[in-house]
Structure 1
């Protein structure tokens, strides 16, 4: 099962440039979380701080009670075995076959024989739908296949935490949908904690259990998916509903005069868009921490935006959840009529 990641007061600078500061939130164990933000807000830098590739100027990253920035190189190397990382471009070795790329962490971190390595590699390749491509070089497969090969490599050590840096970057909407389904299935099967960094709001609206927004050199908000998607905070509402009105500009944040001209203060005047149903695992059963639709909203007295939780087939998940979640069963057939002599 996955473990919790707790970030406390994190700050990172490059020279005089402040990337973000005083970032604090908790990635719950065993759940899927997403961290979003406009381009240039330091999302990839944040992931590198989590695994110790970069060290923050200040703050803590607690992983199962261990403070990552304080670890010496030897212990940091050991901790990284608990992580599986999918880099933005797959980061495959171009001169190695897909099979050897996926096998690399096993050969680097274990003493397994080649027979066992092959069993593990092929099981992960099957999990991500890559069986048959193991003999090809990365340059001979599509971008989507390279992403899936990178994900298979991230899974071979059975990590407790999976970090994915913009897995949907460069993919068309259909391949992105398949990849999102794959993350839901992996979470169901492994129970790993998954943190996805992305700026794709389509992914964010349907996949994670929790999500947050980086903006203005800090964390605007982090919490349950329904909390974020129903928020009237101006930056959150603007970003997750892809609107021009709000504090986020073309390059950086808008100045005060522009915001006044829009009449936009700390709260957005625009109503949040309907909240879509969350992706279910392929087997149709909810993931261990996947909540009933509308549960957070109801428990916090928040009204769902009109049209929420209705899918493309017109099914209302607030009404049909029990059946859609696999817990609904047909009533038993009536007993046969008594035999008449």
Structure 2
């Protein structure tokens, strides 16, 4: 069901401030991708360019055959229906209960009957674990519930692409873990393409199939999770291992002289954790055997990789672990 998004040569600036110069990447259809980067590197701006809320200075965004920056308004409006967007704070209407918030896109963009709308809304609320909360107002629920309500609203038009802008912001680690599992389960059920913008390294290390890093007005790297997490590129290594040593500084990037003065040798990437699996024990179509990308490219995994919190070695015991999950 998901569609591929192909970005070519994207440049965006606001006046004299250049956000990024030349961003090119392909977000695979039906997979979960995550985009990270220091504050101020244009991650949210990138999402807005994908749906045509902002137009780039130059470049292309191909979604389902259409080039977003060059679409006419009517065509752009139709294309946006392929997207579901989860905003940072949920962006719920404070005067509406959760049911009406989630029903809003259906009432605004379709001619469905109220009985059909009710069926869809209740179905999506059940998907995100909000059954029974229809009458609650946004001011009466927790931050995690607001995120899930925003996600349910993003799902009601059955989008082919789901964009999530900092879905874990303001959430504690436990709620973040539940939300990450929900993304995995929804991707399994719906087959939609997911692109998640986040600052949370824990999320980035276990959730997506693909990872990208924006830095220094460009895209440093984008590719399979194992490729990025095993990289020794200075900025990638520093960011995904949360280290001070490297080109990223407090303001975004360090002065080149400061970087040159750092005499410590490059550090080994941290162990690569196992990837989150669906709750029902199934395997997502895009999920690869642990260590497969590394083996194909002759890369030795960092010591301790693919061992989970229970001490199980996913690299060597994968077949037994999968069989055990599927027997549940």
Q: Does 1:39 align with 2:51?
A: no
The 2-side partners of 1:18 and 1:185 are apart by: 37
Equivalent position of 2:66 in the other structure: 66
Equivalent position of 1:309 in the other structure: 306
Per-residue deviation at 1:205?
0.1
Per-residue deviation at 1:327?
7.4
- Asked whether the equivalents of residues 247 and 253 of structure 2 are also in contact (C-alpha less than 8 Å), the reply is yes
Per-residue deviation at 1:287?
0.7
The 1-side partners of 2:120 and 2:45 are apart by: 31
Equivalent position of 2:84 in the other structure: 84
The 1-side partners of 2:92 and 2:292 are apart by: 41
- Asked whether the equivalents of residues 322 and 328 of structure 1 are also in contact (C-alpha less than 8 Å), the reply is no
Q: Does 1:300 align with 2:297?
A: yes
Q: Does 1:271 align with 2:268?
A: yes
> Which digits, 9 at most, give the CA deviation of each residue in 1:119-161, with x for residues without a partner?
1100100000011111011111111100000000000111100
Per-residue deviation at 1:260?
1.3
Per-residue deviation at 1:329?
7.7
* Partner SS state of residue 74, structure 1: helix
**Over alpha carbons, which structure has the higher Rg?**
1
Equivalent position of 1:118 in the other structure: 118
Question: What is the RMSD of the two structures over their aligned residues, measured on CA atoms?
Answer: 1.2
Equivalent position of 1:164 in the other structure: 164
- Asked whether the equivalents of residues 39 and 252 of structure 2 are also in contact (C-alpha less than 8 Å), the reply is no
The 1-side partners of 2:27 and 2:231 are apart by: 20
| Structure 1 residues 91 and 326, CA gap change in structure 2 (3 angstroms) | farther
> Which digits, 9 at most, give the CA deviation of each residue in 1:179-218, with x for residues without a partner?
0000000000000000001111110000000010000010
Question: What pairs with 1:134-213 in structure 2 (closer than 5 Å)?
Answer: 134-213=134-213
**Between 308-317 and 250-259, the greater mean CA deviation after superposition:** 250-259
Equivalent position of 1:283 in the other structure: 280
The 1-side partners of 2:309 and 2:294 are apart by: 22
- Asked whether the equivalents of residues 34 and 208 of structure 1 are also in contact (C-alpha less than 8 Å), the reply is yes
The 1-side partners of 2:326 and 2:256 are apart by: 57
Equivalent position of 1:261 in the other structure: 261
Equivalent position of 1:129 in the other structure: 129
The count of corresponding residues between Structure 1 and Structure 2 is 327
* Partner SS state of residue 183, structure 1: helix
> Which digits, 9 at most, give the CA deviation of each residue in 1:7-52, with x for residues without a partner?
0000000000001111000000000000000011110000000000
5+ residue gaps, structure 1: 331-341
Per-residue deviation at 1:328?
7.9
Per-residue deviation at 1:263?
2.8
**Between 213-222 and 255-264, the greater mean CA deviation after superposition:** 255-264
5+ residue gaps, structure 2: none
